[in-house]
């Protein structure tokens, strides 16, 4: 029963944090970096190039922020609850954060005991 509940809670936390924290932060930092690049004239003003650059910057920012936020959340949840959480995600860019979440959740749960 604890495993099923851990999967359910872990998945909910992954999706909620992704929606409310990770995605807005990734968008914010992507806009900042893209504005700096465009103002410096580092990339041509071609729409296809800008779209590709935006997608690349967003993915990199998303993964970095996702790993940081989910590492903290996984450790705190594992430490405070005393058991580990497992999440499920179908998007490849969520996997590094998912692995960090699970790993630090397990570490936090072991430190709780």
pLDDT digits (tens, 9 = 90+) for 54-113: 899 999 999 999 999 999 999 999 999 988 899 899 999 999 999 999 999 999 999 976
Range of the domain at 35: 2-112
DSSP 91: -
Q: Collapsing DSSP states into helix, strand and coil, what is residue 66?
A: helix
pLDDT digits (tens, 9 = 90+) for 71-86: 999 999 999 998 889 9
Domain total of the chain: 1
Give the containing element (helix H, strand E) for 30. Answer: helix 23-40
Cα atoms found within 13 Å of the Cα of residue 75, Cβ hemisphere only: 8
């Amino acid at each position: 029963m604890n495993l099923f509940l851990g999967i359910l809670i872990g998945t909910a936390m992954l999706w909620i944090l992704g929606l409310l924290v990770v995605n807005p932060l990734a968008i914010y930092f992507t806009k900042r970096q893209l504005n700096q690049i465009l103002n410096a004239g580092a990339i041509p003003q071609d729409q296809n190039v800008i779209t590709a650059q935006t997608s690349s910057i967003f993915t990199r920012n998303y993964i970095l922020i996702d790993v940081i936020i989910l590492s903290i959340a996984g450790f705190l949840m594992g430490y405070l609850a005393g058991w580990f959480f497992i999440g499920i995600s179908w998007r490849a860019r969520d996997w590094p954060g998912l692995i960090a979440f699970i790993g630090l959740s397990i570490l936090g749960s072991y430190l709780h005991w």
